[in-house]
Amino acid sequence: MRLDKFLGDQGIGTRKQIKEYIKNGRCRVNGVVASKPELHIDPDCDEIAFDDLVITYSEFHYFLLNKPAGVVSATTDGRNRTVLDLLSEENVKGLSPCGRLDIDTEGLLLLTDDGQLIHELLSPKKHVDKTYEVHLKNPLSDDDINLLCEGVDIGDRDKENLPLLTLPARVEGTKSDDKDRPVILLTIHEGRFHQVKRMMEAVGNEVLFLRRLSMGSLTLGDDLKPGEYRILTESEINSLKRSD
């Protein structure tokens, strides 16, 4: 692999920038200052350092974003900021959001260039758990909760035009937020269009605020404010791949 491609794949900069970095002696290969961007290296054997920081090669890249409201889960958009705009300091080439959150929905969003992992996590056959914090207009009754846990009609139809009920969901403890609105934790196993909002409408309720807390083995935690992101750990990546 060419040295400039290696550095570019790891988000060091554009090819033009990397050429300047190498010209200025900021990159070393096995302790020796590199002089040419086209130098061929072996990512598995050679030690590559940029500004004295050793860089470990990674074929794919994985970012956990706490998506804020007002940002669209897309790579490009003519009117609104996209989730990729929030990663302006990273090399976002090839990155895509794993699934979508509505523009007014906050919370966990995985961005990666690992297309196989995206496919596995979003496959309807995999039934990957997704947990949401749902702030509601009205409290849920026991009957409402039972319906959600059994599966509700949100308007979708199968090939025979019969109601395609949602898969059984899990509803956990109800509480109130600082505006005295009822809050539940809802875990679903699909990713249909506006699914959580449509499920609440199916039981005569309305979602006032929605935040995704987890997807598969990946959880949001309290370390990221809306709009902030971090690189996934190797352990998190391996757990996601085991659960796909």
pLDDT at site 157: 95
Same structural domain, 71 and 41: no
Could you confirm whether 46 is annotated as catalytic?
Answer: no
Total domains, the chain: 2
Same structural domain, 204 and 124: yes
Same structural domain, 113 and 156: yes
pLDDT digits (tens, 9 = 90+) for 176-234: 888 899 999 999 999 999 999 999 999 999 999 999 999 999 999 899 999 999 989 88
pLDDT at site 92: 78
Residue ranges with strand state E in 3-85: 27-29, 32-33, 48-50, 53-55, 62-67
Is 0.85 topped by the overall pTM? no
- Please measure the distance between the N-terminal and C-terminal CA atoms of the chain and give it in whole angstroms: 30
Same structural domain, 9 and 99: no
Of the candidates 46, 77, 102, 129, the residue annotated as catalytic is 102
pLDDT at site 244: 56
Task: State the burial class of residue 69 (Cβ atoms within 10 Å of its Cβ: 0-12, 13-18, 19+).
Answer: middle
pLDDT at site 86: 95
Domain enclosing residue 24, as ranges: 3-55
Helical ranges in 10-89 per DSSP H: 15-23
Same structural domain, 121 and 38: no
pLDDT less than 70: residues of the chain: 243-244
Task: State the burial class of residue 132 (Cβ atoms within 10 Å of its Cβ: 0-12, 13-18, 19+).
Answer: buried
pLDDT at site 59: 80
